Amino acid sequence: MTKSPVISRHRFGFFLFFVSALAFSVSSCDIFNDCSSSNSYSMRCNGLYLEQCVYSGGNYRWEQYKNCITGCPSDIGNPSCVASTCSCSVQSQYVCDKGNSYRCNGDDVEKCVSLDYYNGYVWEKQKNCKSLFPESEIVESGSCSSTNEYYEPKCVPKIKKAFRGKWFRLDDKTDFYLGTNGISRNSYYSTFVPDSITKIDDNMLEVTGNDETFRLIRNSITDATLKLNVKKAFGYTRSPSGSGIGGIDVVLENTQDSGETYEKQSGSDGSTQFDGIVSGEYDISVGNTKVTQNIADYLNAGNFYFSKNSYIYKALLNSTNEVYYAEDRDNSEEGNRYTVYLRIYNLGNQDASATTISLKTDDTSVKVDAKDEILGTIEPENYVSYNFSIETIPFSKTTDLKNAVYHDIEFLVSLKDIDGEIWEDVVTLRIYRKAVPVYLYSTMSNPFILLSPHREIMSMSSVVWVPYRPDAKYKLIAQSLSLNTEGVYSIGVGSWDKEKWDSDRENFTDVSNYEPNNQESQAVTVNMNSQTTSYLHKNDIDFWIIDMSK
């Protein structure tokens, strides 16, 4: 009799375990999952896709339910599908903790958002500013600008060096600043984003934005110069003035444009000079010390002392915009008297106790009335005022200056503390030979803008006294862009014939005279001791050059 095969308990148990394990393996391994009515709507992972078993078209089948990459962009995290669930492993540099906040990351605008498959927030790219403002004749590229993390940053144009600085809107006479951080209007914090910027010439631009088109005239230069000396301070030497010290970091940072920054180290003798600066207000940093000063054309900022502690003196003019003349307006045989206002700063971190001051110059082109004074204690990051008087001497009476246009006078400022330590600084005044009147009359409300040789706007009135500059040229603009009227105007340099103006005002008819001159390259020249009459029609611009060399 044939026996039936017998399976031992041990073998039968192993067989059941194997079958159960195989069944479990098939049900847990996604790619072998069976899609049927018994597991309808179940999920499985298929690579980076999450699939669901659904009934469709008379059959059960696997259909894509989610793409795990969608909720985890590969540029900020690593997507995966595990145990029928999408997940995301975020790179640490993209992790953030304030949802719906913003930041600039280079040229990208990023927002802090939550991801579908990540328990937290990540920085997600919203747009690239560089692509929004491609390079042009004026624009270097687009950049991201932000002052508040809760507002979406603006994409702004980064302006090329040749066009950075202050500009002036002709029709409403408001200030603009074009820089590495875009364009600001009236103040540094009022950002203006243009639709387009077109170059009319090197000194005039046409701007479109906010549903308006207007023109800007340059109100600064890109080739200003700064000179200073770095010296040893208290704790390094006891000798007056100390000696120059090289290798000290000197940094200039434009207060309206942090991107307009210049850096270099002082030379072996401590002297430092920066050329090719965009004119404007700058923070001047030497080592750990910092002061703010305006650089319009050329500035000799004197001595900066280098020290890691204690107190540090710095003497500065209260204003760099004051103008001084050697000759009296009405009598060239006499000079002028001026009060010069100084500020004596303590740039250190300790009180400068019982400071005394004295001032002198060896220059014989001025007479100085300066008294030694006790300034008292100057606290850190503060200043005290000190004033002195000068009487200028006409250049015609000074042998070395008979043919000079201007002359720079250095005043030595000596400061002594209660320990007898002496600090010396230098303050420089530029004295111009004489003042010249520019007469500006019009039948319209003042249409004139007068620019100095370094393109600063000068205060306007019917008569403007300006330095005699046969070595440089003034620019004058007459414009009716902001006026609804048109009319006759006249320009006189150095002299004025009222009867001629009265006659021209009544009888002038040649409206095509001097046209076209609506660009600086077409400007008409007005010479010394001459008077010119012209006409402004509606929405007109006329450019003039004042040449005092003839």
338 and 408 together in one domain: yes
* Rounded average pLDDT over 208-230: 95
The sign of the dihedral angle between the CA atoms of 9, 14, 15, 21 is: positive
| CA distances in angstroms from 247 to 56, 227, 265, listed in the order given | 79, 16, 5
In a domain, residue 23? The reply is no
Give the separation between CA 397 and CA 438, rounded to whole angstroms. Answer: 26
3-class DSSP state of 27: helix
540 assigned to some structural domain? yes
Is the per-residue pLDDT at 31 higher than 70?
A: no
Put simply, whether the predicted model's pTM sits higher than 0.75 gets the answer yes
| 533: confidence class by pLDDT, cuts 50, 70, 90 | very high
Which residue, 306, 331, 362, sits at the end of a domain?
306
Report the pLDDT value the prediction gives residue 225, as an integer from 0 to 100: 97
pLDDT at residue 238 greater than cutoff 90: no
**pLDDT at residue 117, as a whole number:** 77
Q: Residue range 177-188: average pLDDT? A: 87
Task: Check residues 3 and 394 and name the one with the higher pLDDT.
Answer: 394
Together in a domain, 250 and 344: no
Report how many helices (DSSP H) and strands (DSSP E) the chain contains, helices first.
3, 42
- Residue 299 lies inside a defined structural domain of this protein: yes
Residue 21 has pLDDT above 60, yes or no: no
Same domain flag for 335 and 360? yes
What domain range is 328 assigned to? 309-433
453 and 365 part of one domain: no
Residue 363 lies in a domain: yes
Residue 240 lies in a domain: yes
| Tokens read off for 211 | 């549903």
Report if residue 136 sits inside a domain: no
- My answer on whether 405 and 455 are in the same domain is no
Q: Which residues pair with 438 in a beta bridge?
A: 464, 493
* Domain match, 448 and 415 both: no
DSSP assignments along 70-139, one per residue: TTS-TTTEEEEEETTEEEEEE-GGGEESSTT-EEEETTEEEEEEE-TTSSSEEEEEEEEHHHHS---SSE
Q: Which of 157-171, 181-195, 239-253 bottoms out in mean pLDDT, i.e. has the lowest? A: 239-253
Residue 70 is predicted with a pLDDT of 82
Residues 444 and 364 in one domain: no
Query: How far apart are the two ends of the chain, measured CA to CA in Å?
Result: 142
State whether 422 and 441 are in the same domain: no
**Sign of torsion over alpha carbons 281, 285, 291, 295:** negative
Could you say which of 433, 460, 483 is where a domain stops? 433
pLDDT confidence of residue 409: 97
83-100 pLDDT, tens digit each: 888 888 998 889 998 899
Question: What is the average per-residue pLDDT within 528-549?
Answer: 95
Quick check: helix, strand or coil at residue 453? coil
Q: How many domains does the chain have?
A: 3
pLDDT band at 240 (very low <50, low <70, confident <90, very high): very low
Residue 173 lies in a domain: no
Q: What is the pLDDT of residues 281-313, one digit of tens each?
A: 999 999 888 999 999 999 999 999 887 668 889
**What pLDDT is recorded for position 189?**
66
pLDDT confidence of 267, banded at 50, 70, 90? very high
Same domain, 332 and 392: yes
Q: Confirm if 417 and 296 have CB atoms less than 8 A apart.
A: no
In terms of domains, do 403 and 454 share one?
A: no
> Considering 371, 406, 433, which residue would you say is the last residue of a domain?
433
Which 8-state DSSP code applies to residue 454?
T
pLDDT band at 243 (very low <50, low <70, confident <90, very high): confident
For residue 188, the model assigns a pLDDT of 60
Q: Evaluate whether 246 touches 265 at the Cβ level (below 8 Å).
A: yes
| CATH number, domain containing residue 325 | 2.60.40.10
What is the average per-residue pLDDT within 336-340?
98
Lowest mean pLDDT segment, chosen from 220-229, 276-285, 413-422, 436-445: 413-422
Question: Do both 407 and 420 map to the same domain?
Answer: yes
Give yes or no: residues 535 and 439 share one domain.
Answer: yes
The 3 state secondary structure assigned to 461-495 is CCEEEEECCCCCCEEEEEECCCCCCCEEEEEEECC
